[in-house]
Amino acid sequence: MRPNARFPWLQTIVAPGLGLALLVLSLALPLLTPTSGWAAPSPSPQAPPVEELFGRALAASQDGQFGDALPLWDQVLERAPNDASAWSNRGNVLLALGDAPAAIADQERAMALAPLHPDPHLNRGTAEEALGRWQAAAADYRWILERDPTDASALYNLGNVMGSLGDWSAARDDFAAAADARPGFAMARSSAALAAFQLGELDVAEQQLRSLIRRYPLFADARAGLTALLWDRGAFGEAESHWAAAAGLDPRYRQGEWLRQIRRWPPEPVQALAHFLALTSRSGKSGPP
């Protein structure tokens, strides 16, 4: 986690959805001092201070109000064109609104202003993933990891890229490393278990998923993953009990396209859960077909 210098209660947010496996909203990039010789235009008497605009834009971004956030970031950048954090955050908003090329351009402006900061690389990587540019995204994440091998966000996102390239062994290692680097990163631990499932390491996957559920009983991803694994192993009754909890917590796990394209589960767990759902939809009966 990278706390924000000006907004210390904010942290880098990692959240699934928005058309890619993992949208990393790096709202933690600190405000930067403008370069020498640059001065912000004098605001009109009615114009709010740039710090207030920044805070409003940040709040709208965090609340998912991206249509409202974009013009606010535009105003910040009109007043503070050398603020790398504003460029990076506007890039995240553009990505959330579906404009990945523009998001990449904004992240590259942030990189030019803050060449040693990892967040624009992390954010450009997510935009590259949205375009299916797996190697370019991996290069951004590895740039971060060369400088900080324990960056949990970069490790997790690299795991997603490796999974998209079909290298589930490398993906599992990256997910596990992300979970080790950030205690409490439950999604990384769940992803590592699902990768083990894909690799046929069912005992390992089951142990990890059960451990997650003991620690986080309301964690839908682990419940749904264990449902798929138990069905695959023939434990139909217990699979149904875990599914009842998972479906109540997050109905998106019923959607195969969401699992594949957004959450990006490996193929074997997706197929096993699809078989389970097809089975239990037949007149409400359980057990083998």
Three-class SS of the chain: CCCCCCCCCCCCEEEEECCEEEEEECCCCCCCCCCCCCCCCCCCCCCCCHHHHHHHHHHHHHCCCHHHHHHHHHHHHHHCCCCHHHHHHHHHHHHHCCCHHHHHHHHHHHHHHCCCCCHHHHHHHHHHHHCCCHHHHHHHHHHHHHHCCCCHHHHHHHHHHHHHCCCHHHHHHHHHHHHHHCCCCHHHHHHHHHHHHHCCCHHHHHHHHHHHHHHCCCCHHHHHHHHHHHHHHCCHHHHHHHHHHHHHHCHHHHCHHHHHHHHCCCHHHHHHHHHHHHHHCCCCCCCCC
The enclosing domain of 125 has a CATH number of 1.25.40.10
User: Residue 215 falls within a domain, yes or no?
Assistant: no
User: Residue 74 falls within a domain, yes or no?
Assistant: yes
| Average pLDDT of every residue of the chain | 86
In this prediction, residues 3-26 reach a mean pLDDT of: 31
The model's confidence at residue 279, banded by pLDDT at 50, 70 and 90, is: confident
pTM of the model: 0.83
What pLDDT, in 10s, does the model give residues 65-123? 999 999 999 999 999 999 999 999 999 999 999 999 999 999 999 999 999 999 999 99
User: Residue 120 falls within a domain, yes or no?
Assistant: yes
User: Residue 124 falls within a domain, yes or no?
Assistant: yes
User: Residue 75 falls within a domain, yes or no?
Assistant: yes
Residue 255: is its pLDDT beyond 80? Answer: yes
What pLDDT, in 10s, does the model give residues 204-223? 999 999 999 999 999 999 99
User: Residue 55 falls within a domain, yes or no?
Assistant: yes
User: Residue 151 falls within a domain, yes or no?
Assistant: no
pLDDT of residue 44: 55
What pLDDT, in 10s, does the model give residues 20-52? 333 344 333 333 333 333 344 455 557 789 999
Q: Provide the residue type at 234 as one letter.
A: G
The model's confidence at residue 10, banded by pLDDT at 50, 70 and 90, is: very low
pLDDT of residue 218: 97
pLDDT of residue 47: 74
Tell me which residue range forms the domain holding 20: 1-30+47-135
What pLDDT, in 10s, does the model give residues 161-202? 999 999 999 999 999 999 999 999 999 999 999 999 999 999
> How many domains does the chain fold into?
1
User: Residue 167 falls within a domain, yes or no?
Assistant: no
